[in-house]
Amino acid sequence: MRIPPEFAFSQNNLQDFVECPRRFELRYLLRQPWPAIQSQPVLEHEQHLRRGEIFHQMVQQHQIGLPVEQISAQAYDQTLLGWWEDYLGSLPQPLPEKRYIEHILQMTHGNYRFLAKFDLIAVQSAEKIIIVDWKTGRRKPARTFLSRRIQTRLYPFLLWKCSAAFDRGISYEPEQIEMIYWFTADPLAPEHFKYSRKQAEQDGEYLLELVQQVEHCTQTYFPLTSQEQRCSLCVYRSLCNRGISAGSAEDEIDEEIDDERLDIAFDQIGETEF
């Protein structure tokens, strides 16, 4: 099966490919519907996802300047209210005033299309650009784990390549870019990742190698992951004969619904294309 010409590689689909090529094929190429439960307990898992979605909406509203009191009224339970209060009390500082909220960037790299939706891009003219990503997972991952995630490699690389769009045609150096992860699970300890020319070059090569591996699989086959512990949290596990019962929600690293929602109408959100 060939990759559709309009296909865009994102942090979610590339992370899926890294973790299990077969899951990538089922989800993004075959678009296989499979109503298996992702994790147990089901209701708790669904509530957590819903909180995460509303929290991101609240942060977005705050960043565009809506009154705090008006936004706070959306916190429908103590958990969400706690996240919101932690956010208000521990925002990464200082952030430049020029900000782009829920902004989509896309570019062509090596004849492949790459796309990402950023929670926040803050620009200090001719000095620096900061990416902030709000994480609502049940626990904060280790820094080494985060450093290996596709998001940590794709987002600053894509922003560097598109940086001229944000500041009168000024192209920023990788060293002027920083990515910050902020966690509801540990609001006082965000993780900062400074970027560099060396890292940018490595990331550009790595991303091309990944999509070339995807291309190779389309001509051969998409193998199942060798790490079967991941299968208990995959909705396709029974289709792949990797079990029936769902794993525990406590085992999930990051349960957010993020760039899979990029199928939304692009004219409803800020977008920059290179």
Q: What pLDDT digit, counting tens, does each position of 233-245 carry?
A: 788 888 888 877 6
In DSSP terms, 192 is beta-bridged to 180
Q: In this structure, is residue 209 part of a structural domain?
A: yes
| Chain Cα centroid distance, residue 98 | 22
The number of domains in the chain is 1
How do 247-248 and 271-273 pair as beta strands?
unpaired
Q: In this structure, is residue 3 part of a structural domain?
A: no
Q: In this structure, is residue 228 part of a structural domain?
A: yes
Q: What pLDDT digit, counting tens, does each position of 247-271 carry?
A: 555 555 554 444 444 443 333 344 6
Helix 11-19 and helix 150-162, axial crossing angle in degrees, nearest 10: 150
Residue 17 is predicted with a pLDDT of: 97
As a whole number, the mean pLDDT across the chain is 88
217 contacts: CB under 8 Å, gap ≥ 6: 21, 25, 223
Structural domain range at position 206 = 8-273
Q: In this structure, is residue 201 part of a structural domain?
A: yes
Share of the chain above pLDDT 70, in %: 86
Q: In this structure, is residue 122 part of a structural domain?
A: yes
Reference 211, options 1, 3, 23, 28; nearest CA is: 3
Mean pLDDT calculated for residue range 39-56: 81
Q: In this structure, is residue 114 part of a structural domain?
A: yes
Q: Are 162 and 87 in contact (CB under 8 A)?
A: no
Helix (H) or strand (E) holding 165: none
pLDDT band at 115 (very low <50, low <70, confident <90, very high): very high
Give dist(CA 41, CA 174) in Å, integer.
43
The answer to pTM > 0.85 is yes
Question: Does residue 43 carry a pLDDT above 80?
Answer: no
Q: In this structure, is residue 86 part of a structural domain?
A: yes
Residue 237 is predicted with a pLDDT of: 85
CATH number at residue 141: 3.90.320
Q: In this structure, is residue 2 part of a structural domain?
A: no
Question: Does residue 142 carry a pLDDT above 90?
Answer: yes
Share of the chain above pLDDT 90, in %: 70
Q: Are 109 and 204 in contact (CB under 8 A)?
A: yes
